[in-house]
């Protein structure tokens, strides 16, 4: 097991990443924010969101005082919006229960909303130099290939085995700098070298002892999730246009796109618009939007209307450019760019 740390620590110093924006801060808030954003999102996509978010909410106190809508606005486009809502819940809990100071133990961190074992471990490693193991998606792939794990990593028994290997592979001396460097090296190796498809094995410092590489099984590992057909659903987006403005409806907190501004769906009650008259709707091209557990077919319909007011606090009229400044889901942003902003 010692081989992994012995190879990765010097490799990270010469070949790893050292200029990521969150690497310039070692406080728990910056580490926590970056780790949450990096869940299920690639580094290059996260960087601009992180920079905007931390400029708007530079510390735990400013985030805890924010509204859900403000947080969702700065998160809009990153997807998996429950992460943003959990950020706000966790920030409020840190201020309320810990006087604004992040807990320093992994167990206490895991009791905060949205923080799992690997994220909590990353926080205590990078912010406090503690010796702890991480196991995010990239690290699972590295270990599955290196140790030749021939079962799907999401199975409970396989996941438990990977955690054992992650703990046994930690640097032995517990030096804080070595632990930080090793942990960053694992992240870098999985993100830059041991990638999902077409990994750069010739550049990997672990290839001499990697079972997947030596047995020519890199393409087969890690074992993919058992295939199952995603259920398909569909909805109709009613895009009401009143002159140069579009109607947006704030979605309920629960369910998909919770708390975001979206075009009303087909079950929308027209009497909320106080319509004077309207044209026949125009069918815009339909498209698919994929979620983790299902696919959604979106059928947009554009309808020009004349309305003096709306009679619901959850409805607003906005110009297309103003819509983009709201907390909106990706399909709404896509429709705005395709049909209303040249």
| Residue burial 318-332, b: 16+ Cβ < 10 Å; e: rest | bebeebbebbbbebb
The angle at the Cα of 201, spanning 3 to 19, to the nearest 5 degrees, equals: 80
List the beta bridge partners of residue 300: 237
Stated length of the chain: 342
Tokens 């799907």, residue? 152
**Under 8 Å between Cβ of 109 and 124:** yes
Distance in angstroms (rounded) separating the CA atoms of residues 158 and 153: 5
Picking from 249, 227, 267, 272, the residue whose alpha carbon sits closest to that of residue 326 is 249
Here the tokens at position 61 are 């106190």
The C-alpha atoms of residue 115 and residue 90 are separated, in whole angstroms, by 8
Cα separation values, 155 from 21, 28, 117, 148, 163, Å? 34, 31, 16, 15, 12
Alpha helices in the chain (DSSP H): 2-15, 28-38, 43-56, 60-64, 68-75, 82-98, 106-110, 117-128, 137-146, 156-168, 176-188, 211-214, 320-323, 330-339
- CB-count burial class (<10 Å; 0-12, 13-18, 19+) for 160: exposed
Residue 100: count other Cβ atoms within 10 Å of its Cβ. Answer: 14
Q: For the CA atoms of the chain, what is the radius of gyration?
A: 24
Residue of 6, 35, 97, 249 marked active site: 35
Residue pair 120/109 in contact (Cβ under 8 Å)? The answer is yes
| 35 a catalytic residue | yes
Cβ proximity of 251 and 328 under 8 Å: no
Residues taking part in catalysis: 35
């Amino acid at each position: 097991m010692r081989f992994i740390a012995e190879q990765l620590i010097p490799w990270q110093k010469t070949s790893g990443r050292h200029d990521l924006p969150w690497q310039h801060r070692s406080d728990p808030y910056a580490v926590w924010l970056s780790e949450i954003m990096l869940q299920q999102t690639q580094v290059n996509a996260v960087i601009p969101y992180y920079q905007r978010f931390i400029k708007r909410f530079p510390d735990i106190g400013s985030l805890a005082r924010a509204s859900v809508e403000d947080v969702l606005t700065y998160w809009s486009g990153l997807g998996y919006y429950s992460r943003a809502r959990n950020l706000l819940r966790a920030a409020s809990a840190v201020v309320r229960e810990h006087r604004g100071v992040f807990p320093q133990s992994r167990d206490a961190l895991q009791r905060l909303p949205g923080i799992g074992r690997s994220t909590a471990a990353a926080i205590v490693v990078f912010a406090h130099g503690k010796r702890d193991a991480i196991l995010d998606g990239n690290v699972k792939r590295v270990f599955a290939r290196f140790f030749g794990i021939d079962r799907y990593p999401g199975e409970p028994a396989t996941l438990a085995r990977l955690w054992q290997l992650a703990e046994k592979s930690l640097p032995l001396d517990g030096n804080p700098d070595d632990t930080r460097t090793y942990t960053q090296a694992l992240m870098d190796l999985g993100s830059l070298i041991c990638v999902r498809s077409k990994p750069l094995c010739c550049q990997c410092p672990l290839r001499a002892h990697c079972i997947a590489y030596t047995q020519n099984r890199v393409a087969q590992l890690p074992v993919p999730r058992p295939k199952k057909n995603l259920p398909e659903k569909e909805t109709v987006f009613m895009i009401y246009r009143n002159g140069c403005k579009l109607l947006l409806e704030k979605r309920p907190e629960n369910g998909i796109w919770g708390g975001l501004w979206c075009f009303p769906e087909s079950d929308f009650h027209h009497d909320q618009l106080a319509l004077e008259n309207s044209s026949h709707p125009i069918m815009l091209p339909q498209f698919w939007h994929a979620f983790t557990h299902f696919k959604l077919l979106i059928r947009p319909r554009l309808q020009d209307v004349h309305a003096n007011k709306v009679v619901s606090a959850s409805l607003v009229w906005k110009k297309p450019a103003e819509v983009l400044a709201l907390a909106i889901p990706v399909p709404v942003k896509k429709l705005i760019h395709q049909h209303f902003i040249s």
